[in-house]
C-alpha cells in the first residue's frame, strides 16, 4: 500500500480536499434548494402526474454547470502550490513517485464523492418522507437520482484526472492551466473553420470532421448517419440520457487509463524541468503542431478572403453572384469545391512550412 498511497501526502492534501468539497457543496446546496423549493411548491399546487418529469432531484443537477465549476475549482486548487517547490521537497521524502499521483487522485475522488453522497442522502430523504405522495414514482425517482449522481461523479473524476494529466505536461503553473484551455479552444476553432472549407471532393474527411464537431460541441450527443432518398442525413442521439450507468462506467475506465498515464509520466518528470514551460519534449511538439495548424487554417482563410474580394472588385460584382449567373447553382458549387480542394491541398505544404518556421524561431530564442 505504501507504494500507492501515503498518509503524509494525504495530510498535505487536506486543505485542497476541504476547498474542493466546499466548492462542490455550494453547487449541490443550490441544486438542493432549487429541487426542494420546486418540489414543495408544486406539491402544494399540482397533481403528482404533472410534476414528476421535471422536478426530480436528478433534474436539478445540471451537467454543464458542474463541468465549468469543477474545472475552475480544480484548477484553482492545483494552482495553489508551486510545482517546482513541491517536487523538490517530495522527491526527498519517503514515498514513491507513484504514490504522489495515486494519493492526489484519491483525495480528488473523496472531495467529489463526499458532497455527492450527502446530496444523494438528503434528496433521498425528501423523496422518502413524501413516499405516500409520490406513490409508484418513488422507486423510479430514487433510481434516477442515484444514477445521475453516479454519472456526475464519473464526469468529475474524469475532468480531475484529465487536468492532472495536463499538469504533468507543463511545468510553469499558470502555463499548465492556460495552455490546455488554449489547446482545446484552438482545436475547436480549427475544426469549426475547417468544416466549411473541406471540399466535397474529399467527402470522407468532411464527414469525419462533421462527426468530431458534433461530438465535441455537444457533449453527451452522438451523431448517427442515416441514408434516405439517396442522401446521407444525420440525426443526433443523447447517449448520456439514454444510458447513465454504462456511460459512467466508460468514463471511469477512461479516468483509470488517464491516472495510469499520469503515473507513467510522473516517473519521467525531471525536477529541474518543473520550472520550464514544457516538461517533456513531446509537449513542445504538440504545442507546435496545434499552433502551426491554427496559423495555417486562419492564415489561408484570411488570404483566400482577401483574394475573393479583390477578384470581386476586378469583376465589378460579387464572385459568387458571377458564378451563379454564369454556371447556375450546381456549377457554382462545383467550382467552389474545386477551389476548396486546391486550398485543402495547399494546407499541407503551408503547415509544414509554418511548423518548420516556428521550430526555427523557438530554437533561435532558446540559444539566446
Partner 1 sequence: MLQVINVSKSFSGKEAIKNINLEVKKGTIMGLVGPNGAGKSTLLRTIVDIYDPDCGKIQVNGYDIKDNFELKQAIGYVADRNDFFNSYKINDIVKYYKFAYKNFDIDKFYELNAVFEIPLNKKLSKLSKGNASRVAFMFSMSLAPELLVLDEPTSGLDPIVKRKFLQLLVEDVSERGTTVVISSHNLSDLESICDQVVFLNDGEILKDNTLDNLKTSMKKLQIIFKDTAPSGFECWPEFINVTKLGRSYNIVTDNYSEELLAKLKDNGALFIEELNLTLEDMLILAVEK
Q: What residues line the site for partner 1 (CB under 8 A)?
A: 2-3, 6-8, 10-12, 15, 85-89, 91-97, 99, 267, 270-272
Which of 355, 168, 180 lies closest to 264 in space, CA to CA?
168
Retrieve residue 109's grid coordinates: 475522488
Q: Least Å distance between CB 38 and partner 1?
A: 41
Q: How far is the CB of 149 from partner 1 (least distance, A)?
A: 32
Three-state DSSP class for 278? strand
- What's the length of the chain? 368
Residue 259's nearest CA partner among 168, 357, 359 is 168
Nearer to partner 1, 46 or 93 (CB): 93
Residue closer to partner 1 (CB basis): 11 or 40: 11
Is there a contact between 40 and 128 (Cβ–Cβ < 8 Å)? no
Would you state the torsion angle of the CA atoms of residues 121, 124, 125, 129, taken in this order, to the nearest 10 degrees? Answer: -170
Closest approach, Cβ 95 to partner 1, in A, equals 5
Q: Which is nearer to partner 1, 227 or 281 (CB)?
A: 281
Minimum distance from residue 6 beta carbon to partner 1 (Å): 7
Quick one: which of 106, 112, 44 has its CA closest to 74?
112
Nearer to partner 1, 48 or 271 (CB): 271
HSE-up (13 A, CA, CB side) for residue 1: 3
3-state secondary structure of 220: coil
Residue 93 or 320: the one with the smaller Cβ distance to partner 1 is: 93
Amino acid at each position: 500500500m505504501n507504494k500507492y498511497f501515503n498518509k503524509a501526502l494525504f495530510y498535505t492534501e487536506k486543505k485542497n480536499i476541504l476547498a474542493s468539497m466546499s466548492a462542490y457543496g455550494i453547487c449541490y446546496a443550490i441544486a438542493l434548494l432549487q429541487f426542494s423549493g420546486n418540489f414543495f411548491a408544486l406539491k402544494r399546487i399540482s397533481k403528482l402526474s404533472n410534476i414528476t418529469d421535471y422536478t426530480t432531484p436528478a433534474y436539478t443537477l445540471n451537467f454543464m454547470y458542474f463541468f465549468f465549476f469543477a474545472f475552475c475549482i480544480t484548477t484553482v486548487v492545483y494552482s495553489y502550490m508551486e510545482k517546482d517547490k513541491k517536487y523538490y521537497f517530495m522527491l526527498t521524502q519517503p514515498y514513491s513517485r507513484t504514490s504522489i499521483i495515486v494519493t492526489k487522485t484519491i483525495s480528488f475522488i473523496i472531495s467529489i464523492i463526499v458532497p455527492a453522497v450527502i446530496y444523494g442522502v438528503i434528496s433521498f430523504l425528501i423523496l422518502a418522507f413524501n413516499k405516500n405522495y409520490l406513490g409508484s414514482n418513488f422507486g423510479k425517482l430514487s433510481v434516477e437520482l442515484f444514477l445521475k449522481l453516479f454519472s456526475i461523479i464519473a464526469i468529475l473524476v474524469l475532468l480531475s484526472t484529465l487536468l492532472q494529466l495536463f499538469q504533468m505536461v507543463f511545468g510553469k503553473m499558470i502555463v499548465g492551466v492556460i495552455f490546455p484551455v488554449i489547446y482545446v479552444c484552438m482545436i475547436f476553432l480549427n475544426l469549426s473553420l475547417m468544416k466549411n472549407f473541406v471540399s466535397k471532393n474529399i467527402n470522407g474527411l468532411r464527414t469525419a470532421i462533421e462527426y468530431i464537431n458534433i461530438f465535441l460541441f455537444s457533449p453527451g450527443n452522438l451523431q448517427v448517419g442515416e441514408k434516405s432518398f439517396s442522401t446521407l442525413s444525420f440525426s443526433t442521439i443523447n447517449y448520456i440520457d439514454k444510458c447513465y450507468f454504462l456511460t459512467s462506467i466508460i468514463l471511469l475506465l477512461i479516468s483509470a487509463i488517464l491516472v495510469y498515464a499520469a503515473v507513467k509520466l510522473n516517473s519521467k518528470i525531471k525536477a529541474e524541468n518543473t520550472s520550464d514551460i514544457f516538461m517533456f519534449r513531446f509537449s513542445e511538439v504538440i504545442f507546435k503542431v496545434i499552433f502551426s495548424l491554427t496559423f495555417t487554417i486562419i492564415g489561408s482563410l484570411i488570404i483566400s478572403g482577401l483574394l475573393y474580394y479583390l477578384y470581386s472588385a476586378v469583376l465589378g460584382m460579387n464572385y459568387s453572384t458571377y458564378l451563379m449567373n454564369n454556371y447556375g447553382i450546381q456549377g457554382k458549387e462545383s467550382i467552389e469545391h474545386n477551389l476548396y480542394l486546391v486550398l485543402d491541398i495547399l494546407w499541407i505544404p503551408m503547415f509544414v512550412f509554418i511548423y518548420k518556421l516556428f521550430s526555427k524561431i523557438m530554437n533561435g530564442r532558446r540559444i539566446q
